[in-house]
């Protein structure tokens, strides 16, 4: 199979879908890899490194898309990339389609077979989302602490306090991978941390992990309202796989926060959990203020620490990419339940139930949709 790796074009997205080590793994298995010139630069991987690994370096993005059987990316294609879609093309990347209706339409209309990293599921975990959730979770506490500083627009508190002065309060809503990593860093900075989750089992696990160093709370509108009102920093870390995130923090709750407080909506890639987050922000312009509260809603947070993120992401994606390349996408998806759950679009249909429901498409199973594709590999 020919695997193409275009350069990422989203704002400040410095990750790349394959490291030179990933290229070596695919070439050793008998495949060909095309890498767009300078695609790895932001992550510290040079053109010479890819060439030495055996990749062919290609100057134009259009050529990479046109010549490849499978495109590996990091972020969802942007509108300027939709023109490259074609029937039979395999796309393996983050998609977050519930929050991207135009992309869903472009993919179904063009006949691309698309596997979304974020819904590949194995043993009730999301192995291709987890590494980036670890990064974004850790970053969210760091970023929140930074924006609480006065020169950054915050109320001017140090999360850990100092002897004789109260610590800052952090509420993390959603106690999965992002939430746990956010809480680890916030607690490490010395903050007073509360984690809210809907799953009693998860709350038990969190207490086992953190002991009494964090407060756990069952998710309910009342508990969320009380915790938000008292917090200096609130981190949104809820996920219902594939689906649009529920709006758990209302405008009234945001109004109850003291001026200069900060919210970090990590779940923005699935639409976000804060009612007052009305647009995605970028690394160039990461915050805006509403009701006196600083809102941060960057959908590619790990793009700011690309060296760490690219290596962590490709450690997870390459074994799955190898299965697709070795067996062909149909056989790989039909033989591996984890990849089958990753399939979001095939044969012009949406094949992930929560995505279909949120976007108003008829849901068609992976088996039925794949039968209809023109997929030859
Ligand atoms: N903005 C960015 O750059 C990044 C965003 N993310 C996003 O962060 C979000 C969280 O991801 P993960 O932590 O990996 O997911 P996860 O599946 O590990 O955790 C989600 C948690 O939310 C909980 N939950 C579900 N409904 C809830 C409710 N009503 N109230 C409270 N908790 C609830 C679940 O029980 C689970 O523990 C996802 O949308 C993911 O795509 C991840 C990486 C980077
Ligand atoms: C998960 C995701 O969308 C990201 O890492 O950018």
Cα 360 to ligand 1 centre (Å):
23
Q: Which ligand lies nearest the alpha carbon of 143? A: 1
Do residues 186 and 193 lie in contact, with contact meaning Cβ atoms separated by under 8 Å? yes
Q: Is the CB of 266 under 6 A from ligand 1?
A: yes
Give 377's pLDDT tier (boundaries 50, 70, 90).
Answer: confident
Tokens representing 56? 């062919």
Q: What's the gap in Å between 302 CA and the centre of ligand 2?
A: 7
pLDDT of 25 reads 98
User: Does the structure show a pLDDT above 90 at 111?
Assistant: yes
Query: Which residue has 């969802």 as its token pair?
Result: 76
265 pLDDT above the threshold of 80: yes
Task: Kindly tell me if the per-residue pLDDT of 166 is higher than 80.
Answer: yes
Return the ligand 2 atom nearest residue 75 CA: 6
> Hey, whose CA ends up nearest to atom 5 of ligand 2?
132
- Percentage of the chain with pLDDT > 90? 98
Q: Which residue has the higher pLDDT, 83 or 377?
A: 83
94 lines ligand 2 (CB under 6 A): yes
What is the C-alpha to C-alpha distance for residues 44 and 135, in angstroms, rounded to an integer? Answer: 18
Closest-lying ligand to the alpha carbon of 175? 1
Instruction: Quote ipTM for the complex.
Output: 0.99
Check residue 375 and give its pLDDT: 64
Contact 334/366 with Cβ under 8 angstroms?
yes
Task: Look at ligand 2, atom 2, and give the residue with the nearest C-alpha.
Answer: 300
Active site residue 269: yes
pLDDT at 154: 98
Residue 265 CA, ligand 2 centroid: distance in Å: 13
69 pocket-lining for ligand 1 (C-beta < 6 Å): no
* Three-state SS letters, 307-357: HHHHHHHHHHHHHHHHHHHHHCHHHHHHHCHHHHHHEEEECCEECCHHHHH
The answer to whether residues 375 and 330 touch, using CB atoms and an 8 Å cutoff, is yes
From 276, 279, 280, 232, select the one nearest 254 (Cα to Cα).
276
Q: Is the pLDDT of residue 346 over 70?
A: yes
Give the number of the ligand closest to the Cα of residue 313.
2
Q: Which residue among the candidates 69, 265, 269, 358 is catalytic per the annotation?
A: 269
Is the separation of the CB atoms in 5 and 32 below 8 Å?
A: no
Task: List the Cα angle 261/263/266 in 5-degree steps.
Answer: 165
* Ligand sitting nearest the alpha carbon of 136: 1
- The Cα–Cα gap between 366 and 334 comes to 8
How close is the Cα of 129 to the center of ligand 1, in Å? 10
| 177-188 and 130-147 helices, crossing angle to 10° | 40
Calculate how far, in angstroms, residue 298's C-alpha sits from the geometric centre of ligand 2: 10
CA dist list (Å): 284 to 151, 317, 341: 17, 28, 34
Atom of ligand 2 nearest to the CA of 299: 6
pTM of the model: 0.96
How far apart are alpha carbons 76 and 10 in whole angstroms?
9
Query: Residue 161: is it exposed, middle or buried by C-beta count within 10 angstroms (0-12/13-18/19+)?
Result: middle
CA of 266 to the centre of ligand 2 (A): 9
Over residues 10-37, mean pLDDT: 97
The structure tokens listed for 371 are 């039968």
State yes or no: pLDDT of 373 exceeds 90. Answer: no
Ligand 1 center–CA 304 separation, angstroms: 20
Ligand 1 atom nearest residue 175's Cα: 37
Residue range 52-68: average pLDDT? 98
Ligand 2 atom nearest residue 76's Cα: 3
pLDDT at 374 over 70: no
Pinpoint the alpha helices (H) of 4-149.
20-28, 47-53, 61-67, 101-110, 130-147
Q: Would you say 108 and 348 are in contact if contact means Cβ atoms under 8 Å apart?
A: yes
Region 196-221: mean pLDDT is 97
CA dihedral 119→336→114→39, nearest 10 degrees, is 80
Instruction: Indicate whether residue 132 lines ligand 2 (CB < 6 A).
Output: yes
**Tokens found for residue 297:** 């809603």
- Give the residue from 216, 268, 204 showing the smallest Cα distance to 238: 268
Q: What is the DSSP letter of 209?
A: H
For ligand 1, atom 16, which residue shows the shortest CA distance?
A: 176
Contacts for 287-293 with beta carbons within 8 Å, 24 or more apart? 287/147, 287/153, 289/153, 290/254, 291/251, 291/254, 291/255, 291/257, 292/257, 292/258, 292/259, 292/260, 292/261, 293/254, 293/257, 293/259, 293/260, 293/261, 293/262, 293/263
Q: Is the CB of 321 under 6 A from ligand 2?
A: no
Q: Average pLDDT, stretch 183-188?
A: 98
């Amino acid at each position: 199979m020919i695997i193409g790796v275009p350069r990422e074009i989203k704002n400040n997205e410095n990750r790349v879908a394959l490291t030179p080590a990933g290229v070596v793994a695919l070439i050793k298995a008998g495949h060909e890899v095309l890498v767009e010139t300078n695609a790895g630069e932001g992550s510290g991987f040079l053109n010479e490194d890819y060439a030495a690994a055996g990749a062919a370096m290609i100057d134009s993005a259009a050529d990479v898309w046109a010549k490849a059987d499978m495109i590996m990316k990091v972020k969802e294609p942007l509108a300027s990339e939709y023109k490259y879609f074609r029937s039979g093309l395999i796309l393996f990347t983050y998609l977050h389609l519930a929050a991207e209706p135009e992309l869903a339409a472009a993919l179904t209309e063009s006949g691309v077979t698309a596997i979304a990293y974020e819904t590949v599921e194995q043993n009730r975990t999301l192995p291709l989302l987890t590494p980036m959730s670890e990064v974004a979770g850790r970053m969210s506490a760091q970023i929140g602490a930074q924006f609480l500083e006065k020169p950054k627009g915050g109320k001017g508190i140090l999360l850990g306090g100092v002897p004789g002065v109260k610590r800052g309060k952090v509420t993390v809503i959603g106690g999965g991978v992002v939430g746990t990593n956010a809480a680890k860093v916030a607690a490490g900075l010395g903050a007073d941390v509360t984690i809210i989750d809907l799953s009693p089992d998860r709350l038990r696990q969190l207490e086992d992990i953190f002991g009494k160093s964090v407060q756990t709370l069952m998710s309910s509108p009342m508990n969320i309202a009380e915790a938000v009102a008292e917090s200096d920093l609130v981190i949104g870390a809820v996920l219902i796989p594939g689906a649009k995130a529920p709006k758990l923090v209302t405008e009234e709750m945001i109004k109850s926060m003291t001026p200069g407080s900060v919210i970090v909506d990590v779940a923005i890639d699935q639409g976000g959990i804060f009612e007052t987050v009305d647009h995605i922000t970028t690394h160039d312009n990461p915050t805006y203020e509403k009701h006196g509260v600083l809102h941060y809603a960057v959908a590619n947070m790990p793009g700011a620490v690309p060296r760490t993120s690219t290596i962590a992401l490709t450690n997870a994606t390459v074994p799955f990419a190898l299965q697709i390349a070795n067996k062909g996408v149909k056989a790989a998806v039909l033989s591996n339940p984890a990849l089958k759950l990753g399939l979001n679009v095939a044969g012009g249909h949406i094949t992930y139930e929560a995505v279909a429901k949120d976007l108003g498409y008829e849901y068609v199973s992976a088996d039925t949709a794949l039968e209809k594709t023109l997929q030859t590999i």
